Chains A and B, each alone.
Chain A
Amino acid sequence: MSEAFLQIENLKTHFPVERGMIIRRRIGTVKAVDGVTFSLARGEILGLVGESGCGKSTLGRTILQLIPPTEGTVVLAGKNLAGLNKHDLRESRADFQMIFQDPYASLNPRMTVFDALAEAMRAHRKIPAAEINERVAALMQKVGLSPRFVKKYPHEFSGGQRQRIAIARALAVEPKLIIADEPVSALDVSIQAQIINLLAKLSREMQLTLVFISHDLSVVKHISDRIAVMYLGRIVEIGPAAQVFEQPLHPYTKALVSAVPIPDPEREKQRQRVILTGDPPSPLDPPSGCSFHPRCSYAATECSRAVPALEIFDPARTVACIRAREINQA
Chain B
Amino acid sequence: MCGLQKIDAMPLLQVKNLRTYFHTRNGVVRAVDGVSFEIEKGQTLGIVGESGSGKSVTCYSMLGLIPQPPGRIESGEAIFDGVDLLKAGPPQLRKIRGKRIAMIFQDPMTSLNPYMRIEDQLIEPLLIHERTDRRRAVELGVQALKDVGIQDAAQRIRSYPHEFSGGMRQRVMIAMALITKPDLLIADEPTTALDVTVQAQIIELVKRMQAERGMAVIWISHDLGVVAGLCQRVNVMYAGRVVESGPTDGIFRTPQHPYNRALQKSIPALQPKGVELYTIAGMPPDLSKPVAGCAFAPRCEFVQDICRTPVELKAGASGQSTACVRVQNGDLKL
Contact = CB atoms under 8 A, between A and B. Distances in A.
A joins B in a complex: yes
A262 B269 contact: yes
B89 interface: no
B277 A264 contact: no
Given A193-B279, A215-B195, A266 B270 contact: no
A51 B167 CA distance: 12
B199 A259 contact: yes
Contact of A215 (B51, B196, B248, B278): B196
A296 to B, nearest CB: 12
Contacts of A189: 50, 222, 224, 263, 266-267
A314 interface: no
A260 interface: yes
Contact of B222 (A51, A188, A268, A275): A188
The 10 closest A-B pairs by CB, nearest first: A261-B225, A222-B268, A218-B269, A263-B224, A259-B200, A51-B195, A193-B266, A268-B229, A193-B277, A188-B50
B249 interface: yes
B77 interface: no
B228 A265 contact: yes
A194 B200 contact: no
Contact of B266 (A192, A200, A265, A268): A192
Contacts of A279: 165-168, 198
Interface in B274-310: 274, 276-280, 283-284
A276 B165 CA distance: 15
A221 interface: yes
A197 B269 contact: no
Nearest to B277: A193
Nearest to A267: B228
Interface of B: 50-51, 165-168, 195-201, 203-204, 222-229, 248-249, 252-253, 262-264, 266-271, 273-274, 276-280, 283-284
A256 interface: yes
Contacts of B278: 193
Contacts of B226: 261
A184 B120 CA distance: 39
A263 B273 contact: no
Contact of B252 (A190, A197, A264): A264
28 contacts: A51-B197, A51-B198, A189-B50, A190-B262, A192-B267, A193-B278, A193-B279, A193-B280, A197-B277, A215-B195, A215-B196, A218-B269, A219-B268, A222-B271, A222-B274, A259-B200, A260-B225, A261-B199, A261-B200, A262-B228, A262-B269, A263-B227, A266-B249, A275-B200, A275-B204, A279-B165, A279-B166, A280-B195
Interface string A126-138: 0000000000000
* Secondary structure call for the B interface: helix
Contacts of B199: 259, 261
A163 to B, nearest CB: 13
Nearest to B247: A265
A222 to B, nearest CB: 3
Given A193-B277, A268-B228, A276 B283 contact: no
Contacts of A194: 279
B171 to A, nearest CB: 10
A53 B50 CA distance: 27
A248 to B, nearest CB: 13
Interface residues of A, number: 42
A242 interface: yes
A202 interface: no
B211 to A, nearest CB: 15
Nearest to A271: B229
B278 to A, nearest CB: 7
A79 interface: no
Contact of A261 (B168, B228, B253, B274): B228
A190 B197 contact: no
B50 A262 contact: no
A259 B166 CA distance: 17
Interface in A147-161: 158, 160
Contact of B268 (A215, A221, A255): A221
Nearest to B167: A279
A196 B50 contact: no
Contact of A197 (B165, B167, B204, B276): B276
Interface string A51-62: 110000000000
A325 interface: no
Contact of A241 (B196, B203, B273): B273
Nearest to A192: B266
B277 A265 contact: no
Contacts of A261: 196, 199-200, 203, 223, 225-226, 228-229
B262 to A, nearest CB: 7
A259 B195 CA distance: 9
A197 B279 contact: yes
A273 interface: yes
Contacts of B204: 273, 275
A116 interface: no
Nearest to A279: B165
A263 B197 contact: no
A275 B199 CA distance: 10
B229 A262 contact: yes
B197 A259 contact: yes
A233 B165 CA distance: 18
Nearest to A252: B197
Contacts of A262: 225, 228-229, 269-270
A215 B267 CA distance: 15
Contacts of B276: 197, 200-201
B170 to A, nearest CB: 11
